[in-house]
């Protein structure tokens, strides 16, 4: 449930409510708005019901509202206004459509610097690149690991683009936090609850990708794990789900964008590269994602896709990425946004 404090409630009144909730063995999550403070109450539902009546008459409380969904902190009932996540100084959410671009994997210094220079010139706001690569085959390229992270940090220093990169376990997470600006939790790890909790305790914002067979509710519950650890800087990413279409790698569920925007206050991104698996389809689906209201895109861009060590068929080259960015601007403008 959530406790909505009266407009102008004092800090002493807020703290008195918080102490009463914690004294009952429940956890609190505080959101300070422009005019009101909202206190999220998380824990045993039976205890919350017992406590509810006393909270309703507490000094400074306007109302107490039960959240019916199993996800609490990510719901719009907890926070009715949109969250803007900041990664390395760049906002994700709000009026500007964020564009995270770069190669699937960091392959060499020359490759990642060329990619970073190219996407920066075209207007990307953040740089992506994998140092640890979860691959279907154990014999495929697995990434440069910490050396890849060092190269991403060098590319950030050169271009000013904040770095987004994936961690697959706690040890990798520790390294990613040292070098990157945003942690990516990939589709394969969306329900790795130990990793989600560790990411929730980290100091960096988190990009959480939807699993290939996950429902929207399961995605939101995964995000709830991160928020429940105190990290409210979470971005959701639709990247395609399993379907019956043999013409694309996955089925890109663009209907998830307006659904998520209705259910949650968290920013929503779309990854048309993984969602389609073919570079020719990336630009049309990216334009459709912006038109559907996505807060950003995650696009794979490689200086030489034909010779990429991973995901070359779905990667745009620098020239095609620049063309995509140009085509997105009037669409965003028509919706009162910018790129």
Confidence class of residue 141 from pLDDT cuts 50, 70 and 90? low
- The residue with tokens 């609850």 is 193
**Mean pLDDT value across residues 250-258:** 98
Tens of pLDDT, residues 217-240 = 999 999 999 999 999 999 999 999
DSSP state of 6: P
Tens of pLDDT, residues 55-68 = 999 999 999 988 88
Is residue 227 within 8 Å of residue 85, measured between CB atoms? Answer: no
Is residue 245 within 8 Å of residue 96, measured between CB atoms? Answer: no
**Mean pLDDT value across residues 43-52:** 86
Number of H helices, E strands in the chain: 11, 14
Confidence class of residue 245 from pLDDT cuts 50, 70 and 90? confident
**Mean pLDDT value across residues 192-204:** 96
Pairing of strands 126-128, 163-166: parallel
Residue 209 has pLDDT above 80, yes or no: yes
Cβ-count burial of 49 within 10 angstroms (0-12 exposed, 13-18 middle, 19+ buried)? exposed
Question: 269 φ, ψ to 5°?
Answer: -110, 165
pLDDT of residue 135: 60
Residue 132 has pLDDT above 80, yes or no: yes
**Mean pLDDT value across residues 298-323:** 97
Tens of pLDDT, residues 13-35 = 999 999 999 999 999 999 887 77
DSSP state of 262: H
**Who has greater pLDDT, 30 or 154?**
154
pTM passes above 0.85? yes
Pick from 142, 152, 194: which is nearest to 173 by CA?
194
Q: What is the DSSP string of 215-239?
A: -HHHHHHHHHHHHHTT---EEEEE-
SS3 label, residue 167: coil
The tally of CA atoms less than 13 A away on the side-chain side of residue 116 is: 27
DSSP state of 4: E
**Mean pLDDT value across residues 127-131:** 97
pLDDT of residue 136: 67
- Give me the domains of the chain, ranges plus CATH numbers: 2-65 (3.30.70.1140), 85-334 (3.20.20.70)
**Mean pLDDT value across residues 275-285:** 98
């Amino acid at each position: 449930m959530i406790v909505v404090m009266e407009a102008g409630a004092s800090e002493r009144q807020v703290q008195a409510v918080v102490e009463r909730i914690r004294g009952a063995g429940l956890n609190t999550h505080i959101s300070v708005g422009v005019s009101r403070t909202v206190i999220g109450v998380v824990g045993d539902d039976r205890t919350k019901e017992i406590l509810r009546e006393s909270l309703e008459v507490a000094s400074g409380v306007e109302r107490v509202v039960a959240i019916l969904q199993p996800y609490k902190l990510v719901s719009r009932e907890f926070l009715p206004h949109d969250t803007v996540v900041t990664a390395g100084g760049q906002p994700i959410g709000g009026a500007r459509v964020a564009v995270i671009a770069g190669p699937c994997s960091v392959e060499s210094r020359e490759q990642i610097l060329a990619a970073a220079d190219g996407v920066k010139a075209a207007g990307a706001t953040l740089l992506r690149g994998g140092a640890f690569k979860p691959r279907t085959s154990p014999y495929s390229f697995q990434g440069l690991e910490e050396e890849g992270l060092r190269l991403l940090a060098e590319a950030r220093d050169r271009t000013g683009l904040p770095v987004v990169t994936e961690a697959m376990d706690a040890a990798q997470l520790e390294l990613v936090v040292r070098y990157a600006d945003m942690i990516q939790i990939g589709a394969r790890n969306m329900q790795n609850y130990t990793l989600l909790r560790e990411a929730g305790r980290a100091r960096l914002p988190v990009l959480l990708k939807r699993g290939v067979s996950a429902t929207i509710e399961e995605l939101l519950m995964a995000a709830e794990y991160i928020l429940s650890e105190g990290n409210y800087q979470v971005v959701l990413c639709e990247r395609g789900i399993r379907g019956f279409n043999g013409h694309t790698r996955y089925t890109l569920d663009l209907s998830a964008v307006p659904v998520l925007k209705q259910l949650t206050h968290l920013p929503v991104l779309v990854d048309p590269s993984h969602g389609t698996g073919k570079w020719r389809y990336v630009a049309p689906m990216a334009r459709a994602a912006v038109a559907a209201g996505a807060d950003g895109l995650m696009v794979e861009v490689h200086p030489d896709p034909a010779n990429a060590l991973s995901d070359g068929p779905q990667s745009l080259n620098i020239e095609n990425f620049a063309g995509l960015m140009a085509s997105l601007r009037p669409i965003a403008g028509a919706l009162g946004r910018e790129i």
